[in-house]
Structure 1
Amino acid sequence: MPRTEVGTRADLPHPSPLPSEAFLLFPKAVGYHPSLSKEDPGTIRQVSCKQGCLAIVKADRTVIVYGRAEDGGCQGSLKRIKLNKGAKVDLLDGEASHLLILSSEGKLSEHSIASRGVHSKPRLLKELGDKRIVQIACGDHHSLALSKGGELFAWGQNDYGQVAAGWEINLIKEPQLVQELEGIPLAKIAAGSAHSIALSVFGTVYSWGKNAFGQLGLGDTEDRCSPTIVKALEHEKTAFVSCGGEHTAVLSKDGLVCTFGDGSCGQLGHNSRRNELLPRLVAELFGARVSQVACGRSHTLVYIADLGEIYSFGSGAEGQLGEGEKCDRLIPLPIGRKFSRVGNTSEELIKIIAGENQSIVLLLKEKNSYTNLNRMIARVEEEKTDKWISNSDPNCWHTMKQDIKLIFSSAACINGSFVEKRAKHFRTSLEVAAVDMSAVLLFHEKISTKPKVFTVVINALKNLLQSVLYFPGSPEALRVFLIVPILLRREDSRSDHLLLQLAQAIWRCPQKEKQLLESLWANLEIAFFKDLVSIYQRLASAKLSSVIESTRCSEKTLQDVDFIWPLYVLRMLYELLSHAVNYFSVSFQSIRELTTFPFIFEMEVKVILFQAECCALRLMANSGMASELLVRRQHLVQDTWQCLRNANTDDQALRVLFVGEAGIDDGGPCQEFFTIISRELCAPAEQVFRHFEESHLIWFSHQVPAQKDIYFLIGKLFGKALYNLKIAPFPFPLALFKKMANIQPTLEDLKELSPVVGSMLQAVLDEDYEDVIENMMLDFTITEEHDGSIVDVELKENGANVPVTKYNRKEYVDAYVNYMFSTSVEKQFGDFVRGFKKGCPNETWKMFLPAELRVVLLGLTKYDWEQLEKNAKYHNYERSDETIEDFWAVFHALPEEKKKNFLSFLTGTDCIPAQGMERFTFTIADLGKEDPDLWYPVASTCYRVLYLPRYSNRDVLQNMLLVALENYEKFGLS
């Protein structure tokens, strides 16, 4: 059949307009209570028709429920519903078994349709607390409610996942939050028989629940138990959604209609009875601008205001498609009446409603009677802002304050604010954030001059950021990370604290959300991107300065400080635009950038930054979990290698447990472990390293050891020590750390490792006389021991036949140094570095200069015992106490080795951390023991606490301290 114009049949003439009829019901009001036909349309505020009943909200905000007669009866029931305490009804919707009734104060009540009594009262849903509800939707046996604060609640049957409560629970009796949609500003909710639909402000459609007919629009028939984006509608500018029993219709901003789901009665309008698994444009309506769409159980209505016509399609068995035949329609056709604005009055409005098997048309004369029913979540609006700023009516301040608090304590409300006014916001995606950043900046400038308003905003944001922010994988939920920094760009302590919390929230986002956020950042205008960088750069610099100052004065650990969060955000921003480094000054504090500029900071600052990055990696990887190393003291090396070979993760903190010993590793046992295993592996009997008697240093053996992976394991162990900021006192020369930094060792490094050989080579370089060099009888070979035999190794091709002369001696020395540090140990060093990088996944160790890295890993052996005394703190003691005076007198009288033993007793190592003795602090506390047999000093290696008994006898104290130090060497430190 050819189509002459949108959905119009050539053989069906338009009936004349009927402006006098303001309330039309299809089929006619047969079987209802007679009072229905006497209703004054002018007093009707809202109508809802579901499964055999019709509910009307009157202008006086009361509700009348008309039930249809059953079993051949001619008169249906009538029931009047009133809310408690005189509350007035604003909105209602019905299920098969009950009604949801929303009061003008935003309180939601349930009413059982089956309950008897003409004046029965509904039950207030107290479970929603003080939440103000703005929208409701009912399915057959489930309900949805949207709060003004942007929260979506669902409850009822969950057989198909329609309540978004997983598959384990079939019934949710009380409203519960749909967590997957937190942070997303919703504009409309709808419910079908057993499926649910939510539409965001940005036109994104989410669906979940039953999908047997494709009514979720996801391209399949699998049910969903959590909201899923209908990707086929992502760029369709969806402005409205409606659900039938098993089908769904969406209306775009441009007036186009798409339908999907059950098509058995033609309710999809595609001239077929086929189900549609994906949204499909209703072609018969193409060319017309549809202004309304409403879905009944198995039929659909659309209103085209420009034509003044209502079209219907789908099931017509009850006459719900309008005047005419009672058969199904497969395409949209007029209902048989034409509607137009009488006298061209803009105040006159048409409202279409589709119910179970009914269709209703309301001709409204009051603009506010139906247009304000679809209320939105709270958002920042220009008119509101002006009222907040002007505060012209002090009597309204309480209401304004509550509104501000509601908006800025809700991620959804913030995300729904400052929306691009152009249609651009309907395509929020990875490329478009749809945030009017200029409006955000203008709003900030307005409120920052009004302390009263600004304080309320700050307090509300504080409430928001103290909660765990959950953001689904949708860019529109992440707009808060673009908006809030601009609101907090003002420099004060309150704003800075909240920016830190916001940065921490970014840190904790899943990787998918981080990538989405980076995409939104990348598409910001340059001015706003630079502003974002400037905000976090200022914050990071201020916090870093504060942390450095505080850690210089105390032993505060980085787990107690929060400056790592803005550094992390800066690193994300830097990596995002690493190709445009001109945006950033040299003072940009990205941790990764520091590896490129290792000369910017002093070593102690680098230690702090390195530790911060380690904390960050652990948090991102496993939320602070630790990797346990279970070892026996008698078999320490063997157990360590077995654990390292079997380890699956290397980005966790290390915890060491000694078999048979009580206690939890909070740092002390771990340090003790590295001290002991370093000593054992460096013992000559282990034959792992080559020892140099003059320097007491070690180097890799030129011979391949029996355990092929030994140097890989040692490197991994060394890396773990750095990753956990523990001292591993392997007496390596500086050459090792130079090679790790890709710096070639020199003769000076050989002098450090082997002073005798180094001096000999220096003498060759310094010799002025040719004949003296010839008399040395040197050639380009080096004598080495291999497998018990002495062999000559050539330093260059045919080196045994190339004598060293005054002219090639520099080449000879360079070749000698290169052989010692590189050629002879190429595999050994390669295995070591590979293991080191495995044990220390934090690559920012590269920001340390070689000498700094050696100090960090090996510690310092320059002691200042007077400084140690100055740094001591006291608990339950005073510095002037006799016991303390005696202790320091005894300590300073100890031999140097015993003093170093004391450090080991106290911390697990006799080496000083890289920050030096000036930063080394410990606490002396009262032992609190009365039994003389328990009067021996006790040390907590985890917390650097020495517990001393109270004595008046200095000799006894000295003996007890010496016994304690001897026992530590015999029995260990834990």
Structure 2
Amino acid sequence: MASTESTSSLVLAWGSGEDGQLGMGNWEEMDWASPIKSLEKYNVTAVVAGSRNSLAICEDGRLFTWGWNQRGTLGHPPTTKTESKPGLVKALSDVKIVQAAIGGWHCLAVDDQGRAYAWGGNEYGQCGEEPERKEDGTKALRRDIAIPQRCAPKLSVRQVAAGGTHSVVLTQDGHVWTWGQPWPPGDITQISTPVLVQGLERVQVIAVGAFHNLALLEDGILWAWGNNEYGQLGTGDTQPRSQPIPVQGLSGLLLVDIAAGGWHSTTLTADGEVYAWGRGEHGRLGFGDDKSSKMVPQKVQLLAGEDIIQVSCGGTHSVALTRDGRLYSYGRGDHGRLGYGRKVTTGHPMEVPLKLPPPKNSNSSNGNWCAKFVACGGRHTLAIATWVDEPKPTSSI
């Protein structure tokens, strides 16, 4: 008999809370997965963890943000440097947000009509706003944009992704556009208007790290471009690429999803297998004790047979989600970001315990919390979990 799933769900958080990014109403760190109580009354369908802030998207399209706010990254006028409880982004309350992203210190979102929005830091043009003309006739970018505003108004957007100081969007027609500072500051002049990424068509999904980019095409080929100092492009070398180039070592695999951390990358196959490459320090790739960087994708054997359906990559750690709702985390362990109850750094994926009381509306105390979505940030992790009742035994009479 199949298990029955209740309608009760929780947004969970653990790791560093020094900027309020856990949403617990304080600035303490958590070593275990704990519910964000103020979000329990909302049906949250997606979460995003940034380097120092967080956001949640509700089924009805409302957007909540919390954490670090010194650059306007929460989407409302900064009243304090940090906010430790989720707050509604009122400027977007009249549209239905369906997906969002957090970069170094700016955010992007897209609504159900394909309209994109940006807010936060803008000194590199990452919010897509045109420079303002000053009194002396020169033009300058606004440093911070505290209230979300339209960006890329000529594009019909399907997905947004944010890097350290640049932005990338996937349009409804399968093309990729980018703007901002795509390389470490000082390497190239910033661009505040969207530019088409040449050579990419029929793109299915995009993922962006600090300064590198991934694009999975509908034909299953994975392309990458940007910085490559740790092999995060998967090209077999450490040469940066200003134009997309195919990722090596994945031929014959049916790829279904991708994820990018600060300096590492992962892809997921239809068979639930994970491949990882890029920076290996702290064990964030999941290859056990091997902390060396990988220039080309390699199968994460320690997750073999787990039927992974999602991987999220943070700054220095990763979390994999199984089809039956279990979470495995690995990488840097300080601040409790791995959720084990111990601040242990490890390259061995270990299960994150979700030992929480059953919901009040559950018909049974027998059951468990099953994760449905996970998001890794700089030093914290977020997840969405749903309670699943164990089936009642049936009579053999």
Deviation at 1:243, TM superposition (A): 0.2
Matched, 1:88 2:92: no
CA contact (8 A) 1:80 1:120 kept: no
Q: Which residues of 2 match residues 136-215 of structure 1 at below 5 A?
A: 136-159=160-183, 169-181=188-200, 184-215=201-232
1:28/1:85 Cα in 2 relative to 1: closer, same or farther (>3 Å)? closer
Q: Structure 2 counterpart of 1:359, which letter?
A: T
Which residue number corresponds to residue 312 of structure 2?
Answer: 294
Matched, 1:23 2:5: no
1:74/1:63 Cα in 2 relative to 1: closer, same or farther (>3 Å)? closer
Q: Structure 1 counterpart of 2:271, which letter?
A: D
Deviation at 1:65, TM superposition (A): 1.7
Q: Name the SS of the counterpart of 1:233 in structure 2.
A: coil
Which residue number corresponds to residue 132 of structure 2?
Answer: none
CA contact (8 A) 2:19 2:52 kept: no
CA contact (8 A) 1:293 1:301 kept: yes
Which residue number corresponds to residue 148 of structure 2?
Answer: 122
Q: Name the SS of the counterpart of 1:122 in structure 2.
A: strand
Deviation at 1:158, TM superposition (A): 2.8
Which residue number corresponds to residue 362 of structure 1?
Answer: 384
1:31/1:109 Cα in 2 relative to 1: closer, same or farther (>3 Å)? closer
Alpha-carbon distance in 1 for matches of 2:219, 2:381: 30
Deviation at 1:336, TM superposition (A): 2.4
Answer 1 or 2: which has greater strand percent. 2
1:62/1:275 Cα in 2 relative to 1: closer, same or farther (>3 Å)? same
Which residue number corresponds to residue 65 of structure 1?
Answer: 65
1:654-693 CA distance string (max 9 Å, x none): xxxxxxxxxxxxxxxxxxxxxxxxxxxxxxxxxxxxxxxx
Deviation at 1:257, TM superposition (A): 0.6
Matched, 1:105 2:113: yes
Alpha-carbon distance in 2 for matches of 1:26, 1:41: 20
Q: Name the SS of the counterpart of 1:245 in structure 2.
A: coil
Q: Structure 2 counterpart of 1:289, which letter?
A: D
CA contact (8 A) 2:102 2:108 kept: yes
1:857-915 CA distance string (max 9 Å, x none): xxxxxxxxxxxxxxxxxxxxxxxxxxxxxxxxxxxxxxxxxxxxxxxxxxxxxxxxxxx
Deviation at 1:262, TM superposition (A): 0.4
Deviation at 1:321, TM superposition (A): 0.6
Deviation at 1:121, TM superposition (A): 2.8
Deviation at 1:329, TM superposition (A): 1.0
CA contact (8 A) 1:34 1:75 kept: no
Alpha-carbon distance in 2 for matches of 1:105, 1:78: 25
Q: Name the SS of the counterpart of 2:249 in structure 1.
A: helix
Alpha-carbon distance in 1 for matches of 2:43, 2:97: 14
CA contact (8 A) 2:236 2:248 kept: no
Alpha-carbon distance in 1 for matches of 2:92, 2:10: 31
Answer 1 or 2: which has greater helix percent. 1
Matched, 1:269 2:269: no
Residue segments in structure 1 that go unaligned for 5+ positions in a row: 1-17, 162-166, 366-974
Matched, 1:334 2:351: yes
CA contact (8 A) 1:93 1:138 kept: yes
1:696-740 CA distance string (max 9 Å, x none): xxxxxxxxxxxxxxxxxxxxxxxxxxxxxxxxxxxxxxxxxxxxx
1:225/1:79 Cα in 2 relative to 1: closer, same or farther (>3 Å)? same
Alpha-carbon distance in 2 for matches of 1:59, 1:113: 27
Deviation at 1:69, TM superposition (A): 9.0
Alpha-carbon distance in 1 for matches of 2:315, 2:334: 12
Alpha-carbon distance in 1 for matches of 2:82, 2:188: 42
Q: Name the SS of the counterpart of 2:282 in structure 1.
A: coil
Q: Which residues of 2 match residues 346-385 of structure 1 at below 5 A?
A: 350-364=372-386
Residue segments in structure 2 that go unaligned for 5+ positions in a row: 1-5, 26-35, 71-80, 128-144, 388-397
CA contact (8 A) 2:42 2:58 kept: no
1:159/1:28 Cα in 2 relative to 1: closer, same or farther (>3 Å)? closer
Which residue number corresponds to residue 73 of structure 2?
Answer: none
CA contact (8 A) 2:371 2:383 kept: no
Which residue number corresponds to residue 843 of structure 1?
Answer: none
Alpha-carbon distance in 1 for matches of 2:231, 2:298: 12
Alpha-carbon distance in 2 for matches of 1:74, 1:102: 24
Q: Structure 2 counterpart of 1:356, which letter?
A: G
Q: Structure 2 counterpart of 1:27, which letter?
A: G
Which residue number corresponds to residue 49 of structure 2?
Answer: 49
Deviation at 1:100, TM superposition (A): 0.4
CA contact (8 A) 2:179 2:191 kept: yes
Q: Name the SS of the counterpart of 1:220 in structure 2.
A: coil
1:28/1:160 Cα in 2 relative to 1: closer, same or farther (>3 Å)? closer
Which residue number corresponds to residue 250 of structure 1?
Answer: 267
Alpha-carbon distance in 2 for matches of 1:332, 1:56: 26
CA contact (8 A) 1:195 1:207 kept: yes
Alpha-carbon distance in 1 for matches of 2:7, 2:355: 9
1:603-622 CA distance string (max 9 Å, x none): xxxxxxxxxxxxxxxxxxxx
Q: Name the SS of the counterpart of 1:330 in structure 2.
A: strand
Normalized against structure 1, the TM-score is what? 0.32
Alpha-carbon distance in 2 for matches of 1:113, 1:262: 26
Deviation at 1:110, TM superposition (A): 0.8
CA contact (8 A) 2:24 2:85 kept: no
CA RMSD of aligned residues (A): 3.4
Deviation at 1:122, TM superposition (A): 1.2
Q: Name the SS of the counterpart of 2:302 in structure 1.
A: helix
Q: Which residues of 2 match residues 775-794 of structure 1 at below 5 A?
A: none
Alpha-carbon distance in 2 for matches of 1:37, 1:261: 36
1:156/1:364 Cα in 2 relative to 1: closer, same or farther (>3 Å)? farther
Deviation at 1:58, TM superposition (A): 3.1
Normalized against structure 2, the TM-score is what? 0.75
Q: Which residues of 2 match residues 324-723 of structure 1 at below 5 A?
A: 324-337=341-354, 350-364=372-386
Which is greater in Rg?
A: 1
Q: Identity rate of aligned residues, in percent?
A: 26
Q: Structure 1 counterpart of 2:116, which letter?
A: L
Q: Which residues of 2 match residues 758-907 of structure 1 at below 5 A?
A: none
1:323/1:28 Cα in 2 relative to 1: closer, same or farther (>3 Å)? farther
CA contact (8 A) 1:139 1:193 kept: yes
Deviation at 1:170, TM superposition (A): 2.8
CA contact (8 A) 2:16 2:379 kept: no
Q: Name the SS of the counterpart of 1:121 in structure 2.
A: strand
Q: Name the SS of the counterpart of 2:329 in structure 1.
A: strand
Larger RCO of the pair (alpha carbons < 8 Å, separation 6+): 2
Alpha-carbon distance in 1 for matches of 2:251, 2:261: 21
Q: Structure 2 counterpart of 1:189, which letter?
A: I
Deviation at 1:209, TM superposition (A): 0.5
CA contact (8 A) 1:27 1:320 kept: yes
Alpha-carbon distance in 1 for matches of 2:86, 2:301: 42
Q: Name the SS of the counterpart of 1:350 in structure 2.
A: strand
Alpha-carbon distance in 1 for matches of 2:83, 2:195: 39
